[in-house]
Amino acid sequence: MDPTTLFRWIQAYAPELDKRSRPHLRMTNGSWRVDETYIRVKDEWVYLYRAVDATGQTIDFLLSPKRNAAAARRFFRKALGQPHTVNPRTITVDKNAAYPAATEAMKRAGGLWWFAKLRQVKFLNNIVEQDHRRIKRLVCPGLGFKSFTTASRTMVGYEIMAMIGKGQVAIASAKDMKAQSDVIAALFRVAA
């Protein structure tokens, strides 16, 4: 099979798979681990914001060209808007100065509970740091991304397949590959 065909399938079906899978994701807990990692797009670094809960379930992700308080606020708004997330009681981040500013702005705007605690402790973020490996393992062997849109759509596919693989879809367990395949087939209403 030609690699261009796979590329076109990913660009077409990854966002649709994400949209159809979101309502079936298991609820996450209120202990968030938030971090960002770097992805190379057209010879420039962009930032992939990611959050997982205390059990390792992916809360949400966002690809952003900048690493600042506005991008962090945009990520928090996106994560809080998902049907499978709850408003966090603790948010553990690294020492990035953008997170305190973003959480304070979110609290003032009413998007984040006023009693949500921000913890800037680097070693408590090991869960999300280890979860970055899953994505980096897929990104690094590729030839790189040529546009931000292409990178964004591909990352959606990587992340949603990682969620399905971790067993976050309520109707399929993490160890049952046949059930995961059946879930994808059922979401697209095709025979597995």
Tens-digit pLDDT profile for residues 71-113: 999 999 999 999 999 999 999 999 899 999 999 999 999 999 9
- 3-class secondary structure, 59: strand
Q: Is residue 67 part of a domain?
A: yes
CA 168, CA 190: separation in Å to the nearest integer?
A: 21
Report pLDDT digits (tens) over 14-28.
999 999 999 999 999
Q: Is residue 27 part of a domain?
A: yes
Host domain of residue 173: 23-186
Q: Is residue 11 part of a domain?
A: no
Mean pLDDT of the chain: 90
Selection from 73, 23, 85, 30 nearest residue 49 by Cα: 73
Other CB atoms within a 10 A radius of the CB of residue 105 amount to: 16
What is the reported pLDDT for 2?
Answer: 83
For the chain, what is the domain count? 1
Q: Is residue 4 part of a domain?
A: no
CATH number at residue 104: 3.30.420.10
- Cβ atoms of 86 and 27 within 8 Å: the answer is yes
Q: Is residue 8 part of a domain?
A: no
* Element (DSSP H or E) covering residue 80: helix 69-80
Q: Is residue 40 part of a domain?
A: yes
pTM above 0.75, yes or no: yes
Q: Is residue 12 part of a domain?
A: no
What is the reported pLDDT for 192?
Answer: 53
What is the reported pLDDT for 136?
Answer: 86
